[in-house]
Amino acid sequence: DAKTTQPNSMESNEEEPVHLPCNHSTISGTDYIHWYRQLPSQGPEYVIHGLTSNVNNRMASLAIAEDRKSSTLILHRATLRDAAVYYCILRDVRGGSNYKLTFGKGTLLTVNP
């Protein structure tokens, strides 16, 4: 599986935007970029995913570099409830039936009031 690299931790202030980076220099053309987050003592929660184009949803935006070797998850206005570990995951869709996700270490986001 192609690997992702994320900072171990980041800090932000409440109501400010947060940009969480992810490097995936060995990404292949069939890899989707997924982001999940995990609050303490809970299961992960889907945030967003994309392939080539930037994506927006009610939770966040995903900006994908033109060469796809990196991406950035953008939380437009951080709240205290956004404090979590954020995982950037590549999922290879070759074969059409690979749905499993392999989690890396993720980025621990701390939001200061």
Partner 1 sequence: GAVVSQHPSRVICKSGTSVKIECRSLDFQATTMFWYRQFPKQSLMLMATSNEGSKATYEQGVEKDKFLINHASLTLSTLTVTSAHPEDSSFYICSARLTSRQGGSGAWTGELFFGEGSRLTVL
Q: Site for partner 1 (CB under 8 A): which residue of 66, 95, 99, 113?
A: 99
DSSP 1: -
Residue 34 binds partner 1 (CB under 8 A) = yes
Cβ-based nearer residue to partner 1, 25 or 103: 103
Phi, psi values for residue 81, rounded to 5°: -75, -10
- Max CA pair span of the chain: 46
Residue 44 binds partner 1 (CB under 8 A) = yes
d(CA 42, CA 80): 16
Site string for partner 1, 50-89 (x = CB under 8 A): -------------------------------------x--
End-to-end alpha carbon distance in the chain: 38
Phi, psi values for residue 74, rounded to 5°: -115, 120
- Minimal distance in Å, beta carbon 65 to partner 1? 20
| Residues at the interface with partner 1 (CB under 8 A) | 32, 34, 36, 38, 41-46, 49, 87, 99-106
